[in-house]
Structure 1
Amino acid sequence: MGEIGLNQFAPYLMNRIMARWNLNMAEALKAHDLTTAKMRALTVLSVSSGLTINELSVFAVTEQSTMSRTLDSLEEQGYVRRRQRPDDMRVREVSLTEAGRDAFAAIWPMLYDMFDRLFDDVDEDEFQAFAGTLHKLLRNIRKHDI
């Protein structure tokens, strides 16, 4: 570590950024009666509906057991629906309800504003290079095909 130092050790920098991001996000979500796990589920489902719990867990970066409890709560709030897949009754798919779409629509401006502020003073070329690098890192480290 002495050779490169903490300020050049990418995992350390990524952890610092994401820890602060998650704290800010958790605080902002309280006003909407949502947790970070619930927000992640709503966000993913707003883009890809009809996912299994396992698929949703991977995309939302949440353990399957946590996602299962999160979905129980979101279902109680009326934000998600779980249904058996027509072609395989053993598999249950999760999708947003209209109330879930409304809940996501209510938090999206706040999420986007936080995202936008995170990248203050980063121009488009820098952002595209950064996103490309993150995709390479994800391919190098991931365990799932999704």
Structure 2
Amino acid sequence: MESKHNRLIGFLVYDAQRCITRSLEATLKPYDLTPGQWNLINQLDQAGELSQKELADRTRKEQATITRYLDTLERKGLVVRNKHQSDRRAHVVSITDKARELIRVVLPLTADTANRLVEGIDQKDIDTFVTVLAALKKNADNITGS
């Protein structure tokens, strides 16, 4: 028998994601960053230099969206784009010292936001939730062929 929750999972995940995003937006707002921009800076900090395509793949964003994010981050002095050494048509992106300093300041604040999100939730429940989300993602990827 189908549970009413089975029909609501997509909406509940979407709604929770929007609320979580708003909490991150509030944390990042004083630093003039969006969650999408913050994600790119973190991806580049962790991976080093990446192509725009690699950034799009890692973040599951369209390349046009990545280009807009990078244009903004470049204007803010947080990333630089350089010609790819082996593919003259491509660019590689890396963060600047200014971005590294911003990460040093902002990362503890985003970690605090993440901790506040799970306040009052038993670790066992969080572990189960993470497992269920991974299964949902896998099933969704199977449906779309991703």
TM tier, smaller = 0.7 to 0.9
**Hey, what does 1:108 align to over in structure 2?**
107
Unaligned runs of at least 5 residues, structure 1: none
Q: Which has the higher helix share?
A: 2
Hey, what's the Cα distance between the residues in 2 that align with 1:14 and 1:84?
A: 39
* Alignment partner of 1:55 is 2:54: yes
**Hey, what does 1:73 align to over in structure 2?**
72
**Hey, what does 1:24 align to over in structure 2?**
23
Matched position secondary structure for 2:50? coil
* Alignment partner of 1:98 is 2:97: yes
Hey, what's the Cα distance between the residues in 2 that align with 1:60 and 1:68?
A: 13
Matched position secondary structure for 1:88? coil
Offset at residue 6 of structure 1 (A): 5.0
Unaligned runs of at least 5 residues, structure 2: none
**Hey, what does 1:140 align to over in structure 2?**
139
Hey, what's the Cα distance between the residues in 1 that align with 2:51 and 2:28?
A: 25
Runs of 4+ in 1 over 4 A off after TM superposition: none
Cα RMSD after superposing both structures = 2.4
Deviation larger for 120-129 or 70-79: 120-129
Number of matched pairs: 143
> Which residue identity lines up with residue 48 of structure 1 in the other structure?
A
* Alignment partner of 1:82 is 2:98: no
> Which residue identity lines up with residue 37 of structure 2 in the other structure?
K
Offset at residue 8 of structure 1 (A): 6.6
State the TM-score, normalizing by the size of structure 1. Answer: 0.81
